[in-house]
Structure 1
Amino acid sequence: MDLGRQESQDEGNRFWREEREEGAVYMVYLKRVTYRSHDRLEEGEKFMSHLMWETLKVRVVKAGTLERLVECMETCQGDLDSSHLNVFLSTYRTFASPEQVLKTLINRFIMLKSCAKDDDRKEMVEEQLKTIRSVISVWLDTHPDDFREHPDYPCLLDLEDFAKEHIADSDLGVRARHRLEKFQKEAKTLEESIEEMHLGARHGINGDKNVLFNQISNRSVAEQLTFKDAELFRKVVPHHCLGAVWSRRRKKGGKNPSSVVATIQQFNNVSLRVIATVLNTRGMKTSQRAKILQRWIEIAQELRDLKNFSSLRAIISGLQTHPVYRLRKTWAALPKNIMVLFTELSEIFSNENNQITSRELLMKEATAKFPDIESQNKTLQRRNLLKRQSWIENGIVQGTVPYLGTFLTDLTMIDTAFADITDDNLINFEKHRKEFEVIAQLKLLQSAAQIYQIVKDENFWTWFYSVNVYTDTESHDLSCTIEPPSDSNAKIKKKSASCAHTVLKMAAVYVLYHFITL
């Protein structure tokens, strides 16, 4: 009989019950599998095909000790469970260190190797040993930074020693040595580049210090912000976004999530410069100040065209802060179509229904060639149609940079809603599966951010970092100088405005602003 099995498309897995063993809790599902049997009727005659089905029992670990979670990387046949491995490698840092995981894998390998002499289990054990070697190999290839433990690199040294002693026929030891030498070389290069950067800062940096905001085109501003955002987003280490980086776990001694902090800092840098360029206009006419507001809104639209939701959100947040938004005369001087555009761009990040609009847009356009821009304004509709046609004719494909706060918010909510440890004192692995779903989306978008082909403009960044930014109090004082408050009680007005500013900024930047102030 020849069996060709495949999973039934009509019925998925159906939860049956929980099963408990020492050190682990499993969710058991019933999985319906269909297959076609091919029976020979008589010698020399044709096969008769029958469609048949059976129900299989599938166990998925829900919670367990570190040792049991490592064991679950093997299926019941001893093969590699790639689904479990992906979740584990993406989230384990919230409950174990790389050293602990490597030690657990090595101990299991040594224990199984001692059982390989048993003839009854030899074939199964050999398959399990092969799987553990595959796990370590995949880990080293897909998450190399887990082994970047400057300056001693204990995991790589332990891995090299283990490979030499227990799997001499493997190239794992050689690969560990090569990885160690590479990390040491990169660390030395980084130290040299930092020294060069400090020398450059002492002797001045390249770039025209006399460049002014009005000398840079809207498109150039948007492209340079996208260049920076895409660069930082590609460098985000996904597990840095987990709950381990936020206050509750950071207090337990978690490492500083530098890749996330850098993205957050750039977000705030953009918002602060939006505020500064609008408020640093004392002596200007209202119409001139309105031109600056208009420029930032138009730059936000250029960012929308580039599918850069990070700086787009930063600009909208800056424009919505109290010191800027209270300038009624300035806003009233904007053309009607610009106000319509600002409203449409602001609605992308509405907090209604957990920012559902921005989420839908992000998923819809994540890997699309260009943005699907819609507008209720007829003038904007015509302009967007012309842009779209131009993109098609010129074969333009845009990358994507998301607003990282969306992912940080989701992961923080998961971290808050689900306990790290169950009542049985086991690692809650079901929580980490939910975290992995968010991380998988983030990784997809990191691939999309590779598409941009933008060259860095040193003159722009010389201008950008030369802008003098203000504190909340300074921003409020400047705003009141430009358009004095009508309320005669200036002290009360100032205090309430400062509170409103903080609330608006917190709402606009959400988790990002909270984290950077910790």
Structure 2
Amino acid sequence: MVQKMRESMPQTPIFPSMLGSTCSGQVQPEMGEQCGDPVYQDGSLVSGSLEALIERLVPTVDYYPDRTYIFTFLLSSRVFIHPHEILAKVGQICIKQKQQLESGTEADKAKLKSFAAKIIQLLKEWTETFPFDFQDERARKELKEIAQRISQCDEENGTIKKSISQMTQNVLLALSTRGGQFQEIREKIRQPVTDKGTILKTKPQSSQKDILSVCGDPLILAQQLTAIELERLGNIYPEDLMQIISHMDSLDNHKCRSDVTKTFNLEAYDNWFNCLSMQVAAEICRVVKKKQRTRVMEFFIDVARECFNIGNFNSMMAIISGMNLSPVARLKKTWSKVKTAKFDVLEHHMDPSSNFCNYRTALQGAAQRSQSANSCREKIVIPVFNLFIKDLFFLHKIHSNRLPNGHINFKKCWEVSRQIHDFLTWKQVECPFEKDKKIQTYLLTTPIYTEEALFLASFENEGPDNHMEKDSWKTLRSTLLNRA
């Protein structure tokens, strides 16, 4: 299924070649360049009415839309119209073209087979790239009706019917697979807990597992974190990412927008980032001896550096965020023993100034390396997910969906599509690292602490420095002990 998804994705980059005819499809001479519907500039589609854009989606005997256009339109159109409504309009256009060919010459009738094959190819690309569009029974009904009409174009040959049957089975399989993924994701969601015994040091330190006892090699841990990241990314689909835009422009109660599985996939990935940050902080704060705590800090700095070298920026950011949490940041005696030069370099890469300019430069470098790489190891690019989401949000806010004349702003659609396509390309990289069950089980199941519990553990290791911290410590001890 992954290979089929890859084959149906745009085969050429949308930018910077978006302004050329290769990527945005062949411009029909009679359409004109600066006026008409749709509108082109320098051979590139920039806007159009919804009706004109749908017509451009549907193949004819002599025309098949560029794959980048198919992907971009189907991805972006859900902001304006339900998928089942697009299918209905596609079906109506198919009927007209079919009737024209049937009523024409014998040569026209012979072209019916070619036309039918192109329609099936379009539906195949749609169902493979956006199978969740067909979770809606209305969409499946429209798909079935189009398929029945198209199969009549070549009743003597069973090839079309076989293609339709296989396509339908693949859709149902994809929906079933995603349903299973959703249930699995639900089970993996972790919530912070308060382990009174661990935090208040009532258990012997030797009886507790810690990260160094499970994996003492920073490179190995970075690789296992990357394997987890790629697995989690595999559960995010282009439609999920469009929720960022479509939720802000909700159209009545669109099923594609309100479906809980879509936003849940994004929330689950965000949960993983937060859990990793809190786990890093917990690993540090719960260590009693300062020398060992220093070792744990330096270990995580090395892990973050290895993540950076791999191209796993999301885990790197999560580790840095965990070490910058207040319960860890306040451990001044411990930090004084840490060799911080490497940590300073990492923080420089993730400096938020100038809209994370340093990070974006590093990300661009990793993306360029990925494009020319021969090995899966060099193809890995895992962006900081929260920043990626913010970029999509910002892109939506500064550019309108529609122009003053009512046309859809397709320039915006191209850019949204480019960013999401880049993300999908990165997430489809096959993980080159063998899964270590022991390490991954520890990373994914070890209890994580609430912020209150982290502060209490921090105070237990390095006492309060001022009256405010003393008051906080007393309150936390009382609160957590009573709660427990």
TM-score (structure 1 length as normaliser)? 0.68
In the alignment, what sits opposite 1:261? 267
Match of 1:277 in 2: 283
Larger radius of gyration: 1
Please, which moves more after superposition, 182-191 or 79-88?
Answer: 182-191
**Residue type at the aligned position of 2:363:** L
Q: Kindly state the Cα deviation for residue 477 of structure 1 after the two structures are TM-superposed.
A: 3.4
Paired position in structure 2 for 1:419: 400
Q: Structure 1: any 5+ residue segments left out of the alignment?
A: 1-8, 30-57, 200-208, 373-391, 495-518
2:199 matched to which residue of 1? none
Where does the alignment leave 5 or more consecutive residues of structure 2 unmatched? Answer: 1-16, 22-31, 188-206, 474-484
Distance 1:346 1:314 in 2: 12
CA 1:227–1:166: 2 relative to 1, 3 Å: same
Whether the 8 Å contact between 2:87 and 2:139 is mirrored in structure 1 is no
Matches for 1:490-505 after TM superposition, within 5 Å: 490=469
Selected match of 1:475 from 444, 449, 454: 454
Matching residue's letter, 2:165 = R
Tell me what 1:164 maps to: 151
Give secondary structure in 1 for the equivalent of 2:222. Answer: helix
Asked if structure 1 preserves the Cα contact closer than 8 Å seen for 2:79 and 2:245, the reply is no
Change (3 A) 1:212 1:490: closer
- Measured in 1, the distance between the counterparts of 2:138 and 2:59 equals 37
Aligned residues with identical type, % of pairs: 19
Question: 1:175 is aligned with what amino acid?
Answer: S
In structure 2, relative to structure 1, the CA distance for the partners of 1:87 and 1:462 (3 Å cut) is: closer
Q: What pairs with 1:310-329 in structure 2 (closer than 5 Å)?
A: 310-329=314-333
Q: Does the CA contact (< 8 Å) of 1:224 and 1:454 recur in 2?
A: yes
Alpha-carbon distance in 1 for matches of 2:377, 2:244: 39
C-alpha distance 97-474 of structure 1, shift in aligned 2 (>3 A): same
Q: Does 1:138 align with 2:144?
A: no
Q: Which residue of 1 aligns with 2:26?
A: none
Kindly state the Cα deviation for residue 361 of structure 1 after the two structures are TM-superposed. 1.7
Q: Note the 1:181-192 alignment, pairs <5 A.
A: 181-184=169-172
* Equivalent residue for 2:436, pick from 437, 457, 463: 457
Question: C-alpha deviations, 1:59-110, integer Å up to 9, x for none?
Answer: 7251312x21111236999522304323213322222332122111111111
Alignment of structure 1 residues 198-277 onto 2, 5 Å = 212-215=210-213, 216-217=215-216, 218-244=218-244, 247-249=247-249, 253=253, 254=257, 255-256=259-260, 257=262, 258-277=264-283
The farther-off stretch of 99-108 and 471-480 is 471-480
Query: Alignment partner of 1:177: what SS?
Result: helix
Is the alpha carbon distance of 1:151 and 1:129 closer, same or farther for their aligned partners in structure 2, counting shifts above 3 Å?
closer
More strand by share: 1
Distance 1:319 1:247, change over 3 A: farther
Q: How does 1:30-45 map to 2 (within 5 A)?
A: none
Q: CA RMSD in A?
A: 4.3
Count of aligned positions: 415
Alpha-carbon distance in 2 for matches of 1:219, 1:343 = 19
Once residues 251 and 223 of structure 1 are traced to their aligned partners in structure 2, the CA distance between those partners, rounded to angstroms, is 42
CA-to-aligned-CA distance 1:137-167 (integer Å, 9 cap, x gap) = 4323444443355899445534443333455
TM-score, normalised to structure 2, is 0.72
Give the alignment of 1:8-23 within 5 angstroms.
18-20=34-36
Report deviation, 1:409: 1.9
Q: Which residue of 2 aligns with 1:342?
A: 343
1:69 to 39, 53, 58: 53
